[in-house]
Chains A and B, each alone.
Chain A
Amino acid sequence: MRQTLDYLKETPSQTAGPYVHIGLAPGAAGFDIYAQELGHDIAGPNAKGERIRVEGGVIDGMGSPIKDVLLEAWQANADGIYAHPEHLGEVEDGFRGWGRVIPDFETGNWTFETVKPGAVTDLNGRQMAPHISLWIVARGINVGLQTRLYFSDEAAANATDPVLNLIEWERRRATLIAERTDSDGTPVYRFDIKLQGEDETVFFDI
C-alpha cells in the first residue's frame, strides 16, 4: 500500500468585501436585527487595570484611509491572562478580551476602549511585552492581515519581546508601537496601520 497523508486543506480565504459590516456589525451597516451585537465591549465592566483608548486608521498605498475596514482586537487582561480554556488563570466576570472596531465611514478613523493588557507568559515560559493582537479585513484584502499593537510606555518590555526581536530590521519594529498621550483623563494610544510604503506596518504570518 502506498502511504498517504490524510490532511485536509484549509478553506481558502476571500476578501470580506465592502459590506462586511452587514454580517459582523449590522448596526453600522444601518439596520437593527440582533438582540445583541457582538464585540462592542472588549474588557467588560469588571476588568481591573488601566482604562485606555486606542485611536487610529488603516492607510492604503496611496496614503488614503480605508473607510470600509473592520478590525478585531484580541488581548489578555491586566494580569496577562486570556479568556480561553487553554490559558490557565482567571479573568474578571464579563472580560472577553475581544472586540470589533469599525471606522467612521466618512473619515476612516476608528477608536476603541479597553484596559491595557499585562505582559503575557508564552507556553515556553518566555515573557511577551503587553500587546493587543489585531486582525484586519476589508475590500481588497484577500487574507485577513495579522499584526500586533505594543505600547510606547513599555520600552523595557518591548526591548526583550521575542516577537518584536524576530523583526530583523529594528526600524520596522517601531511600526508596531502605539504612541501614548495623556491629556484629559483616559490615556490615548495612537496606532496607524500602513499597508504600504516606507513605514509599512509589520504583518505576521503566524
Chain B
Amino acid sequence: MKPGPYYQRDRQWQPPALTPDYKTSVSRSPQYSMISLETTVSEITGPVFGHNDIDPIDKDLLSNYAKPGESPIGERIILHGRVLDENAKPVPNTLLEIWQANAGGRYRHKKDTYLAPIDPNFGGCGRTLTDENGYYAFRTVKPGAYPWRNWVNNWRPAHVHISIFGSAFAQRLITQCYFEGDPLIAKCPIVNSIPDPDAVDQLVARLDLNSTIPLDTITYKFDIVLRGRRSTLFENRPEGN
C-alpha cells in the first residue's frame, strides 16, 4: 500500500476565518473562497527536525530560563500527551513548540504591557520532539488568565499555545490548550471561534492524577491529532480526466 494524499481538512470542524466576536478576525479573514486541491508533493513534504536542533532542557520551562537554584513562581505542572494522526497512528519525532504567559498572566514579549509582573525565572517557551510512540512531555507552571482588548472586559482562559509540524506541510498546526474546569473557557470569543462544542472539548486538557508526581507536580494530559492520509491499493485517477 502506498501512502497517498492527506485527508481534506474538515472546515466545519475547524474555526471559520471570519468570527466577528473575535474582532481582529474581521479585517484579517480572507473573503473569497479558498482554492481547494489535493495535496501535492509540496504539501506532503515538510521540514524534518532532529535531536541536533534542540537541547533536552528546552522542554523544561521550570528550569530553561531560571537562575541556578531558582524556579518560576506558580503551580508546577507537567503537560503531556501523544501526537496522533486521524488514523490514530502515532506521529513520532515531530517538533512541538509551546509558549505561554507566566503564572500571573504576563508574557515575556516586548509588546506585552499587562501590569502583572515579568517572572525573572520564567521565559515562557519550550520545545521538544515526540518519541517513537508520538509521546511528549513538558514541565512548566500553569499560566494565569489575562485581559485582552476585544470587548472591554475580555479575559483569556489559562492556556498554552502549541505549534506542531507533523511530517508534512499539510499537517502544520497551531492551537491552544486549555485546562479542565476553567469557567473562562466558555466565555472566550477565541475559543468560541470553534463552532462545534465537541471540537472545543478536544482543546481542554484533563487533570491526569495517575501521572501526577506526589508532593511535586500536577499533571494534565493533552493529546493532539494531526491530519491523516489515505493509503490505497489502487492508483489515483489521473487529474484532468
A203 at the interface (CB under 8 A from B): yes
**Beyond A133-B42, A195-B29, is A142–B173 a contact (Cβ under 8 Å)?**
no
> A163 to chain B: closest CB distance in Å?
6
CB of B88 within 8 A of CB of A74, answer no
Binding site for A on B (CB under 8 A): 3, 8-11, 13-17, 19, 22, 24-32, 34-49, 53-55, 58, 64-65, 84-88, 95, 97-99, 107-112, 123-125, 127, 161, 163, 167, 169-170, 172-176, 190-191, 193-194, 198-200, 202-203, 224-228, 236, 238-239
CB of B225 within 8 A of CB of A9, answer yes
Residues of A within 8 A of B15 (CB): 12-14, 142-143
Main SS of chain B's interface residues? Answer: loop
A183 to B24, CA, bound (A): 38
A140 at the interface (CB under 8 A from B): yes
Task: Name A117's closest neighbour in chain B (CB-CB).
Answer: B42
Residues of A within 8 A of B236 (CB): 124
Residues of A within 8 A of B9 (CB): 10, 143, 205
CB of B16 within 8 A of CB of A31, answer no
A120 to B41, CA, bound (A): 8
A66 to B29, CA, bound (A): 12
CB of B24 within 8 A of CB of A140, answer yes
A64 to B88, CA, bound (A): 42
Chain A residues bordering chain B, tally (CB within 8 A) = 82
User: Among B95, B161, B169, B239, which residue has its beta carbon within 8 angstroms of that of A74?
Assistant: B169
CB of B109 within 8 A of CB of A22, answer yes
1/0 per residue A122-160: CB within 8 Å of B? Answer: 111010100101010111111111101000000000000
Task: Name B11's closest neighbour in chain A (CB-CB).
Answer: A205
CB of A11 within 8 A of CB of B10, answer no
A1 at the interface (CB under 8 A from B): no
Some 17 contacts from A to B, beta carbons below 8 A apart, are A9-B10, A10-B173, A13-B175, A16-B174, A31-B108, A33-B125, A61-B31, A74-B42, A105-B110, A123-B41, A128-B40, A133-B42, A140-B25, A140-B29, A142-B17, A143-B14, A144-B174
**Beyond A11-B175, A98-B47, A135-B169, is A35–B31 a contact (Cβ under 8 Å)?**
no
Closest 7 CB pairs of A and B: A23-B99, A140-B24, A140-B28, A84-B45, A98-B47, A61-B27, A30-B110
A135 to B42, CA, bound (A): 12
* Segment 15-38 of A: residues with Cβ below 8 Å from B: 15-24, 26, 29-31, 33-36, 38
User: Among A23, A68, A139, A148, which residue has its beta carbon within 8 angstroms of that of B163?
Assistant: A23
User: Among A17, A85, A137, A166, which residue has its beta carbon within 8 angstroms of that of B35?
Assistant: A166
